[in-house]
Structures are given as C-alpha cells and as structure tokens.
Amino acid sequence: MLGRVNHVAIAVPDLAAATAAYRDQLGASVSQPQPLPEHGVTVVFVGLPNAKVELLEPLGEGSPIAAFLTKNPDGGMHHICYEVDDILAARDHLVASGARVLGNGEPKIGAHGKSVLFLHPKDFFGTLIELEQL
C-alpha cells in the first residue's frame, strides 16, 4: 500500500528563519511560502534528491501547528507523508484494520494539489501519518 516517502514535516516557530537556515546554512533549494488556510499552515518545501522536507508555520486562529508549538516551542518533527496509489482504497483498508482517520474521513486537497488524509498518531506509535494520492 505505501509508496515512497513524500516528505517529512517540521513545525517551526519562525518560517523565515527556518527557510534561511535550510537555504543559507545547508545549501538547500527551498520553495516560496505557500499559505494553506484550509489546513491552518503556511508551508515551504525543501527539495531533496529523494524526498522533501516541509517546514510548517501556524496560519490563523486554531492552527493545529500552534498547539504543537505550544508543547514544542523550538519546533520539531510534526508528521511523515507517504505516497499511495489509491487513497480511498488505503483509507478503507486502514479503517477496516482499526486505524483512525482524522477529520471526517474524507480526503482534503494538500499543498501539492493532491488528495491527502491524516492518520491518528496513537495508532502509529506516536507518529502522525499523512497519506498523499499519487
């Protein structure tokens, strides 16, 4: 069911500073900031040869990243995203096996313009999992 790792997401308290660190200190190629109000975040993607790193900053009231940063003020790993061939089949298989899909269980459109779902971290050893349709 799982394909390759699409990205690892890191919540950051200051997106501009994090972007500069990846670009200037690590020499990485970084995207322009992209606000995603429906997800409550602004994102920047760091391009790597085999995957991406997604830097997340809170956007708007009630951002899930704001709550994460309250517990982790310096930031930290927020989730890992795996690609799947068929997000609805993956969801149905996971639900049948007892996994919990966050939200209403229906895919939303993510930062790459593709359908995404999130799986409850308590079902995956403390790690929030994002699935992204290929």
- 130 catalytic residue (yes or no): yes
Which residues on adjacent β-strands are paired with residue 10? 55, 77
CA dihedral 99, 124, 36, 23 (to 10 degrees): -160
The two structure tokens encoding residue 37: 């109000």
pLDDT digits (tens, 9 = 90+) for 52-101: 999 999 998 889 899 999 999 999 999 999 999 999 999 999 999 999 99
Please identify which of the residues 54, 57, 130, 132 carries the catalytic annotation: 130
- Name the pTM for this structure: 0.93
Containing structural domain, residue 39: 2-133
Q: pLDDT value at position 27?
A: 97
The two structure tokens encoding residue 31: 């995207």
pLDDT digits (tens, 9 = 90+) for 11-67: 999 999 999 999 999 999 999 999 999 899 999 999 999 999 999 999 988 898 999
DSSP string, 48-88: -SS-EEEEEEE-STT-HHHHHHHHSTT-EEEEEEEEES-HH
How far apart (Å, rounded) are the C-alpha atoms in residues 89 and 20? 39
Q: Give the CATH number of the domain where residue 74 resides.
A: 3.10.180.10
- Token match 């991406």: residue? 52
Q: Nearest-5° angle of CA 18, CA 21, CA 25?
A: 170
With a CB cutoff of 8 Å and minimum separation 6, the contacts of 79 are 8, 9, 118, 127, 128, 129, 130
Q: pLDDT value at position 62?
A: 87
| Helix or strand holding residue 19 (H, E) | helix 15-20
- Based on the structure, what is the number of domains in the chain? 1
